[in-house]
Amino acid sequence: MTGLADDAEVEGAVLRYLAEHPNAADTLRGIACWWLAQERVRWETTRVAGILERLVNRGVLDRLGSGEAALYRLRTK
């Protein structure tokens, strides 16, 4: 899945943003560009983390370090 798939997901993203930032206010464009972009980044980060983990487990990538500071590179034989 890339981005927000349906109206229910967009609604949920807006409500989650407001739950985290109860005093937030923005224009339609600001909500679409900023609030929803943050949600997409969260989803994509989670998705990419899973993909990187699979590539490490398959021996395609090396992971150097751990956590958010970990570096990934092509494993050389």
State residue 1's pLDDT score: 38
Return the domain boundaries, the chain: 7-74
Enumerate residues 6+ apart whose C-beta is below 8 A from 52. Answer: 61, 63, 72
| Count of beta carbons in the 10 Å neighbourhood of residue 77 | 3
Instruction: Give 57: exposed, middle or buried? Use CB within 10 Å, 0-12, 13-18, 19+.
Output: exposed
- 10-residue mean pLDDT profile of the chain (77 residues): values are 70 93 96 89 88 97 94 93
State residue 2's pLDDT score: 46
39, 49 Cβ separation under 8 angstroms: no
